Amino acid sequence: MSHPVDEYGHVAILYGGQSSERAISLISGQHVEEALKKQNIACSLIDTAVDCIQQLITLKPSRAFIALHGGEGEDGTIQGILEALNIPYTGSNLQASALAIDKYRTKLIWKGSQLPTPDFFLLNQETKQNYPIPCMVKATCQGSTIGTFFVKTIEDLTSALDKARVYGHEILIEQWINGDEFSVSILSHTILPPVRIIAASNFYDYHAKYKASDTQYLLPCQLPSLAEEQLKQLAYQAFTILGCSGWGRVDMMQDKQGKFWLIEVNTVPGLTPNSLVPKSAQALGINFPHLIRIILDQTMCYSNPLNHQDQTMPSIQKNETISCVETEPPSV
């Protein structure tokens, strides 16, 4: 059962910000506002690029919906501010957010936990390793494939490194996996139907995500049932081992031999018309306003965000929202 509308109080939708993903966040925030207002939930947009703390102190919201992508919205900064102000918020806590945004340290955790992720190393001035051409060159703390470049030949490497350094001083070199890309969204303890992504350029970059009209999203993902189950369970393991909670998305590749490889986790995925979490939710009969309500409901399950990481979120069934009780994870 949903909570009565008046129990939500006033919701601050945090969007915009100063990251390289600001443009996408502005769209996400506007869609969240529209969805909440359709359900008569009082809300206000706060662009965190302008004196975020003072805006929160002035508004005194009952809870916060984080619609920020990258930067301070996903690296734990905003989460820390909200905890200091004792404002419940959506998504993962400070610690998990700070870890998940860092591609290099995320992969260290996965590798140490014996979860499959492509070979990698962190580029620095002392790096003497040979580059595994073809490879991916990535700024470690960016999203939406911003600062990410596919290197086909050694001649492309210098240009890719120079471009990636614009977005940060730490550069990840990652083995290229030739195969299909999959995205698995997680909502509370429910693993939503995976999406197979086919980009015309064979690289699901920023253009393919937000501008191209020929990117294909296959849902159902056309995997055999056993392989789909393996994909879901691996995504859930990868998500929870980082301490992530609430909602998010895990991106993976499947090589030509059928093996799945973990690429990255997004703790605040996009909420635009082209975004993958809404697509997966819709496959379970969860429309966009309902999805936003489910995410917001997670803030009703604790009274103090300092205890955020200790809460157990229940599974979501078709056309249902969550209640604040513990359940057995995960549901598929």
Architecture of domain 119-175: 2-Layer Sandwich (3.30)
Catalytic position from the list 206, 210, 217, 302: 210
Nearest to 283 by CA among 257, 307, 319: 319
**Reading across the β-sheet that carries 43-47, which strands appear in turn?**
43-47, 11-15, 63-66
Q: Is 102 a catalytic residue?
A: no
For residue 62, give Cα distances in angstroms to 85, 142, 210, 300, 323: 11, 30, 33, 10, 18
Catalytic position from the list 102, 174, 228, 251: 251
Strands in the chain per DSSP E:
11-15, 43-47, 63-66, 120-123, 135-139, 148-151, 171-175, 179-187, 190-191, 195-198, 216-218, 247-255, 260-266
Q: Is 264 a catalytic residue?
A: yes
CATH number for the domain whose boundaries are 5-95:
3.40.50.20
Cα–Cα distance measured from residue 68 to residue 20, given in angstroms and rounded to the nearest whole number: 11
Residue-wise pLDDT tens digits, 259-284:
999 999 999 999 987 799 999 999 99
Would you write out the chain's pLDDT as a tens digit for each of its 332 residues? Answer: 568 888 999 999 999 998 888 999 999 999 999 999 999 999 999 999 999 999 999 999 999 999 999 889 999 999 999 999 999 999 999 999 999 999 999 999 999 999 999 998 888 655 556 777 888 888 877 655 677 788 888 887 888 887 878 777 788 888 999 999 999 999 988 999 999 998 766 655 554 555 556 678 899 999 999 999 999 999 999 999 999 999 999 999 999 999 999 999 999 999 987 799 999 999 999 999 999 999 999 998 754 444 444 444 444 444 444 333 333 334 44
What is the phi/psi pair of residue 143, to 5°? -130, 180
Question: What pLDDT shows up at residue 312?
Answer: 42
Q: Is 2 a catalytic residue?
A: no
pTM score, whole prediction: 0.85
Q: Is 70 a catalytic residue?
A: no
Catalytic position from the list 70, 73, 246, 270: 270
Residue-wise pLDDT tens digits, 64-91:
999 999 889 999 999 999 999 999 999 9
SS3 205: coil
SS3 34: helix
First to last CA, the chain: 20
Q: Is 285 a catalytic residue?
A: no
Catalytic position from the list 92, 93, 185, 266: 266
Catalytic position from the list 25, 92, 144, 245: 144
Domain boundaries, the chain: 5-95, 119-175
Q: Is 97 a catalytic residue?
A: no
Catalytic position from the list 264, 280, 293, 297: 264
Q: Is 245 a catalytic residue?
A: no
For residues 327 and 315, the answer to whether their CB atoms sit within 8 Å is yes
Q: Is 236 a catalytic residue?
A: no
Q: What is the DSSP letter of 91?
A: S
Query: HEC profile for 217-274?
Result: EECCCCCCHHHHHHHHHHHHHHHHHCCCCCEEEEEEEEECCCCEEEEEEECCCCCCCC
